[in-house]
Amino acid sequence: MKAFNSFVIGLVLLFAGWNLIQMVFIYGKAEVAQILLEKAWQRTLLNHTVEGHNHDSELERPWAWSDSSPIAKLIFPDQDKELIVLNNGTGRSMAFAPSHLAGSAEFGNNGVTVIGGHKDTHFDFLEHTLIKDDFWVQLPNGEFKPYRVTGIQVADVTSSELLLEADHSVIVLVACYPFSTLVSGGDLRYLVIAEPYVTQLGPFQGASNLIAL
């Protein structure tokens, strides 16, 4: 019996050790990915300073087999967060960084730019974001655009539709909701709506409600 108990304890310790190794590996891979994303973004910025470089024909991949590339950086001073945004809004891309929804407006253009992110990683801070919070968008040419949160909504994807038309630039940050659930997915989405902020004039208004029921 003593030998059997020792065997069981050994199996438990082995299993626990394997789980710990997996956790360390996943965490390490995520950290390395962020370093590679930042380097790809810095190369993107550098490309736009090179005279004669075709900025539209080449995107910098963070690693050779990546199917997405950095197209912007979000900077949230109050939360001390800087997030690279990828151009391919798939689940695989969002595992590494917030991603741009295909079909929505490009950064800086008129229309609604939709950025999706996971509620338990990159976009976990959205739960504490407030109306009138400010953040910055850095474009590939190095320009910084200020935005201010003008609306926060919870939408059911089965009974509502996000409108993508606007006469000025609007950014919508999207995460699954509620934040307290352990499992992502479901029908509810948390929307943080932001519009260009001009210091002298204050934020533009008019797009705080983008949900068509």
Instruction: Find how far residue 35's CA is from the centre of its chain.
Output: 16
Return the closest-CA partner of residue 106 out of 141, 158, 148. 141
Predicted confidence at residue 165, as pLDDT, reads 86
Instruction: Find how far residue 139's CA is from the centre of its chain.
Output: 15
* Residue pLDDT tens, the chain, 213 long: 655 555 545 444 444 443 433 333 333 445 788 899 999 999 999 998 775 555 555 689 888 888 899 999 999 999 999 999 999 877 778 889 999 999 999 998 999 999 999 999 999 999 999 999 999 999 999 999 999 999 999 999 888 888 888 999 999 999 999 998 776 678 999 999 999 987 554 444 444 455 544
Structure tokens of 202?
């204050």
150-183 burial by CB neighbour count: b if 16+ within 10 A, else e? bbbbebeeeebebebebeebbbbbbbbbeeeeee
User: What element of type H or E holds 83?
Assistant: strand 81-86
Predicted confidence at residue 88, as pLDDT, reads 82
The domains located in the chain, with CATH, are 65-212 (2.40.260.10)
